[in-house]
A and B are shown apart, each in its own frame.
Chain A
Amino acid sequence: MTVSLNKGTIEIRWHGRGGQGTVTAAKMFASVAVKRGFYGQSIPMFGLERSGTPVAVYSRVSKEPIQRNDPVTKPHIVVITDPSVMVFLAASQGGKLPESIPDPRAGITDETVFIINSPMPPQEAKRILGLEGKPNKVCTVDATKIALEEIGRNVPNTAILGAMAKILPEVINMETVREELEESFGASSKLRALIPANLKAMERGYNEVKCA
């Protein structure tokens, strides 16, 4: 039950909040894709974003050069890094979200896979998304808890990437993320010290993600 690049470009939409590292996670994702020999792209939603504002980030990964740079409207994978999105969705009871929050359900198909940072079981997340009985795969992982336990800070990126490695093993694996972390953290000894904890968080994300 993995997503494969054989059918063409995989398009991903991330839902997070400014300052929670969603853009960083998406950039790491693109960088890892390039390291694996693919074409990778990540497009932050820019501008006058403030810390805490809901943001959408778009990524593409492909075996061919990527032509498009427009927002992803029909995602193959939706990654929700901000746990509060599910809370808002639950409160909306299947209705509309507040206008400021990009709707993770927008443009999805039966094949769209969800990877959600949330302590709730995947069945519950699937119900809240209104996807009960649908073929969609919905996965949850408590990446925030993992991050707090392993890294000591609310930086759920690597745990999320671990969960993504389960869905997209062609693109993400432990070894490449280690390489990426060593390159991006390498210059500072303070950051370098965080690499083992981040890799542990990624491993836990991979092992603890549950799908329905």
Chain B
Amino acid sequence: MAVELIKERKAVAMTGNQAIAEAMRQINYDVAAAYPISPQTELMGFFAEYLANGLVDTEFITVESEHSAMSAVIGAAAAGARAMTATAAQGLLYMYENLPIASNWRLPITMVLVNRALSAPLNIHCDHGDAMTARDSGWIQLFTENSQEAYHSLIMAVKIAESALLPAIVNMEGYIVSHTIGNVNLLTDAEVREFIGESDWRKNVPHPLLDTDNPVTYGATALPDYYTELKYPQHLATFEAKEHVKRVLEEFNRLAGTNYQVIEPYKLDDADFAIVVMGSTAGVARTAADQLREKGIKAGVLKIRLFRPFPYEEIAEALKHIKAVAVLDRHDSMNGLASPLYQDIASALYHLPERPMLHDFIYGLGGREVTVEDMLKAFNRLINIYTGRETRDRFTEYLQVRE
């Protein structure tokens, strides 16, 4: 039985990796499987300490690769266990072929993705390249701004995954969040355990493999006659997942006194210009918006917390009255079109009778520092294009490339 360590709520200073390890301890997963990769290595190291000190009941499988990590948690979750893994960048790519299997099998696995740039060139620092490759994998994805949100999000993700019956990724930006120390308000162990509910292998998934009285098959073939029919329920479940997310966020807000929504508008009500962004850049963007407002420019920010399923209705509602919107994506899909987030935002706005002008900035690649000045530059370029003071050759541009 897991030890009860935190009996009273308290404010502590923690890095993102420490905060996630703390959440893992409180959640007390049945199974965790992971292979080390920067910047996730330290996170599993912190968790391994809890394990070695006998504070958790988790079966920690130190696999020989990420492919095996995902295979192990798929097996564990199908058996009925509450299971998790954590990885980054190439580690995610190495396990990728198993991702759509977890989602189609409706396994409520949680994964912490400590966002890191994809090779090549080799780089261990943050961008959203890894998360973006998983955008079509059928996994729920939450983005987080700081260690506090990362901690809360993993706790919420367990409940979201188990109620939507879909696997969920919690994105935490490598180094910028994973290694930055900041305030974290910890819930008590009892509160976390009550919120997520006790893990019960008979109930975590509808058809656990361990239920030998009711044997089932996972991983059967479905040929042209049935493949579509086995995809369609997943299609519906992915749409329905948004409501599960909203409900869990609300429940969590009541518990923790937070105000988490699937999107987080900042001063958008009367805004003329807005930045759309995910992750740790949101605070820097809000600071820039405040500075512009001091000069009389009505600027706002839309932070997206829930990236998959994409809350397109809420986003359209939040942005419909804005004159011009700059989408900031910390990834370049190299598709000859635009960043993935831009494409999603454009799709979300397309059916509006009147929509904002859109511009796309790719920024923060491979850990490039993101400053308030960068955000001011994005706003100013957007405003100048909108007012015709500047022209653009393409609607997608690099914000920070050195010439």
Question: Which of A's residues lie within 8 Å of B, judged by CB?
Answer: 26-27, 30-31, 33-35, 37, 39-44, 46-48, 65-71, 73
Contact = CB atoms under 8 A, between A and B. Distances in A.
A47 B372 contact: no
Interface residues of B, number: 25
Nearest to B280: A69
A33 B183 CA distance: 9
Contact of B284 (A39, A41, A69): A69
B379 to A, nearest CB: 16
Contacts of B299: none
List 4 tightest A-B contacts by C-beta distance, closest first: A67-B283, A31-B13, A34-B13, A46-B175
A70 B39 CA distance: 18
B125 A46 contact: yes
B125 A42 contact: no
Interface string B167-186: 00000000111011111000
Interface in B326-354: none
A65 B183 contact: yes
A70 B369 contact: yes
B278 interface: no
A31 B10 CA distance: 13
Contacts of B124: 47-48
A34 B11 contact: yes
A65 B183 CA distance: 9
Contacts of A69: 146, 176-177, 180, 280, 283-284
Interface string B336-380: 000000000000000000000000000000010111100000000
Given A33-B13, A34-B12, A47-B124, A68 B183 contact: no
Given A40-B13, A67-B284, A30 B182 contact: yes
B128 interface: no
Contact of A70 (B11, B146, B284, B367): B284
Interface in B292-308: none
8 contacts: A34-B183, A39-B183, A40-B183, A41-B181, A46-B175, A68-B284, A69-B180, A70-B284
Contacts of A70: 284, 369-372
B199 interface: no
B283 A71 contact: no
Given A31-B13, A40-B13, A71 B369 contact: yes
B181 A67 contact: no
Contact of A27 (B181, B183, B367, B369): B181
B286 interface: yes
Contacts of B286: 67
Interface string B1-31: 0000000000111000000000000000000
Contacts of A40: 13, 181-183
Interface in B269-291: 280, 283-284, 286-287
A71 B370 CA distance: 8
A46 B39 CA distance: 10
A26 B175 CA distance: 15
B97 to A, nearest CB: 30
A68 B372 contact: yes
Given A27-B13, A30-B13, A31-B13, A68 B283 contact: yes
A99 B39 CA distance: 27
